[in-house]
Structure 1
Amino acid sequence: MRRERIVVDLALWALVSAPVVLWAVVRDGGPWWRAVSGVAVLAAGIALSRFLPLTALLLTVVLALTTTLELWTPAYAIALATFGCLAGRRTALARPALHAFAGTAAVGLLLTRIAHRDLWTWLTQLTTLAFAVMVPWLVGRYARQYAQLIDTGWLLADRLEREQRGAADRARLRERSRIAGDMHDSLGHELSLIAVRAAALEVDPSLGAKQQSAAGELRAAAGDATARLRDIIGVLRENDEAAPVAPTGESVTDQVKRAQESGMEVELRGEVPAGDLAPMTRRAVHRTVQESLTNAAKHAPGARVTVVLTRSDSALKVTVTSTARSAGPAPDPPGSGTGLVGLDERIRLAGGVLTHGPLPAGGFEVTATLPPAPGPPPLRTPETSPLARELARARQQVRRRLKQAIWVPLAATAAIGALIGAVGLFTRYETVLGRSQYELIRVGDARADVRPRLPPHSMENAPDGAPQQSAGPECTYYRTSIFASLPAYRLCFADGKLVSKAVVAETVVSRAIASRAIAS
């Protein structure tokens, strides 16, 4: 692993150092000491990029600024992009990098003013900082976040998924132990009846000794079977769980009456005679109504509960609906959520399907669809787990940050463009000479007397096509409007005095261009 890092660092150093050496050769040998020092500083930056990536990036920015205040130079363009990407890839927090970028822009503005350069130099510097440094930094940051999602997201989701499956499996096992308890109660009762009848036969005087002995063996075998069944089922129960009571003889109507007597507002619609159902189906119906009423009393006290039983030739449907919780005492804290998991297991083992969830208008609904006769348990359909939804949200966040990596440079470009336009207008405004001030200027006035009436700056160059002036007078041009270069005012000075002033109009420029074309 360490050897791979060394190879990668050497390759990066060669990549960022090659343009520095080539640029020194292109510039006719140039100052080799600067190229050598630049390569050495880049080597230090590569070494620091593993531990202090922002420091390595700032070293490269300083190298580029020592070459040109505009920051853009072919010698360090690749280095800026490379270290910007590494800073985004290897820095956990974004705020230090943003502070570094803002500090670089502020220092660049200060250096521009100290060097008496115009604002266009600083704008070029900002553009280079945005596209050569910030865009690679955003790309590196996206790569880091995506790698974190790949490396840790699935591991965390898998571990939590296993924990959730373990909790659901434990709930199913508890439900199966309750089913086994039902078996104990029913089979134990039947075995007890067999033992009682065998005991009666054992003392029946009408039977011979051999038949009485066989009846005694049958009684002893029934008692032993009952004891073994009790021991086996007892192992399956939880330590604090009492023996389940089989709902033999208790119908849904009895359950609803007991709930009404306890103060719940419950309405029953429909009824199915218990004798028409298989024992497994009857107990599944009993547990569905029992679990639903328990959850309604616990989580929505005061709500109205409706139990609907629908029987058809192919299925028995049990629907328990509770309205939203009415004003009243606060419900108990949320449970473990395994009650519905256990109920789902019982319904599945009975060959049915359980669905449950909140209603759009408020409240909760539990629906169990059961066959009249028990059949094979249906296959489980995979459901979207909360962890899968959480992972989907994480992926969506990564995609959102990728979009940010696209629109942030575009927004920066628009902001820089607006700043360039504002600086351009301001620069033009500082070269506009008002007509009233122009008329106050007289030929022969001293230059010191004319200067207070002039704007802070003059046009950098003469308008295109303006007539060439003979050697001697020093002529400067001023705009008459912020939005046009022509017409313009021309003032010529010689020996500290104004020797001529004129308005350079578009017609004059056109004539000058035409005369140049004829002469050529």
Structure 2
Amino acid sequence: MNVTTKALDVRRRLGAAGMWPRRRIVGETVLALVLALLAGASVLGEGVAWMAGVAVAAAVASLSRRAFPGSVLVLVGAADGVFGGFWAVLMVASWSAGSRIEAPRRALAVFAASYVLCAGVSVQQAHFALSAPQTLLFTTLSFLATAVVPGLASRYRSQRRRLLRALHEHNAQLLREREIIASHARLRERQRIAQDMHDSLGHQLALIAVHTGALEVDRDLTDGQRQAVGVLREASVAAMHELREAVGILHDGTPDRAREREGEGEPAGRGVSGIDGLVTASRGTRAVVELRRTGEVRPLAPAADHAAYRIVQEALTNALKHAPGAPIAVELRYEPDSLVVEVANGPVPTNEGRRPAVSGGQGLTGLQERARLVGGMVHAGAGADGGFRVAGVLPYPGREMTTFGDTTDDFRGQSGGTVPGDGGEVIDWSGPPDRQKEFDIAMGSKKKGVVIGCGAAVLAFVVLGVVAVVFVVKLVGSEADKLMVDPSVYHSVQVGDTEAVVRDKLPHGKSFLAGALNDDAGAPPAPKGATCSSYLSTGDWPDEGSKAPAYRFCFRDGKLIEKRAFMSTS
């Protein structure tokens, strides 16, 4: 990687902050200010310049930890060893590094380098009067609590989120494959149904067309009978054409084009223009059918145009079937915003001697669904005169009108786009949402994962805290045994006693606080050429003030040459 590439990478990482949401920017700013105050307070006695420099360094480290997690962690580890007040910054930097450094070896190397710098600088600085092993042990415990535990918790959280995302995508892929398999099964079944329709209904309709064609030219028929047979023949031919299209749609979703290949013309229009043919065919059955048009003729969308044709066709069929002999009125009213199609029949003259017609009960339901998909509606019910009325309202293209029904249930998937979820988010239709929800429940919620991660972090903090407390207690107890002398021992020794006898009565071992006590400002000047040892008194200490009773023993040439009591200010 050359210099230009590195510069571009740095620019890209720094520019990522420009895409942060407002809440994140505010949070990062507040966090940087808090960390800067904590770091600056650690050097309170070093002057304003030092405080300002340390605070600025902490703020910069906090703001850049996401773009450069490894570098910031190493530098903050070294700064914590120098100042000792970067522990909060170290926690935040390790949290970011744990989740953003993906390669395990690189993460281990970064944390190890940060620890080595932190421990090495701490041993060199010796903020407290501790020996090198004691400083190293204390620094190790502190680094474990402030760097390792947050880094591991953050890494666990990040890996769990990636795992759940991968499993979610895998589950969505399985659901898509299952839907594809089900779709193929439906297509095979549709093809089987289409073949059955072609073999059975096609054959029967062909026979009807042939026989009615032969009957139409029979010389024994009257003109009225011959006209009725012609209507039957035309109906059978139209039914065959519709069956061909239905079979083609069932096969591959496209109409059958056999008529075009055979040179046949298209059947009568199946829109508003074809309603005249429906009325004419109905009159051929000796029914009284009246057609009225009002308003300025307006074009309709293809789907709405076909729906108008189907409404009239179904309504005429029902009227002829259930109310034979009753007058029928078909009306097309072109309103300003929609076309109103109305078919009404009068009451049935008489029911005597007539068998009830067979009905499947699905015709009106299909009309209502067809009209709903184009933004319209269909109403059917008894008329005021005892007859029956079917009315449909179909909008013009590009016109805004009230939707008569829930058009969001688009069973053909024609709406496109996305659908907002309960929380305003966009649902990913890569898999059925209800099944994805079941998957999320089975895998566990995000809150559960956060609770587990936080619980592990708290447990680690508690364990390290207990270890630190035990270490401090033992350290204090050990130092007390090495540094404190009972007043009776001080009074029992006399100047001139041999050093061996006096040393035998004094505490054994070297205390790391003894040097500070020997150099205490309250201690009297030491005799020239003498070796002195100072100890704190176990007697009564003053209730107020910062001074403590202390004893000093000075030796020269193997004898005690001086013992002094003073008030230590250490």
TM-score interval, normalised by the smaller of the two chains: 0.3 to 0.5
Which of structures 1 and 2 has the bigger CA Rg? 2
Q: Which has the higher contact order (CA 8 A, sep 6+)?
A: 1
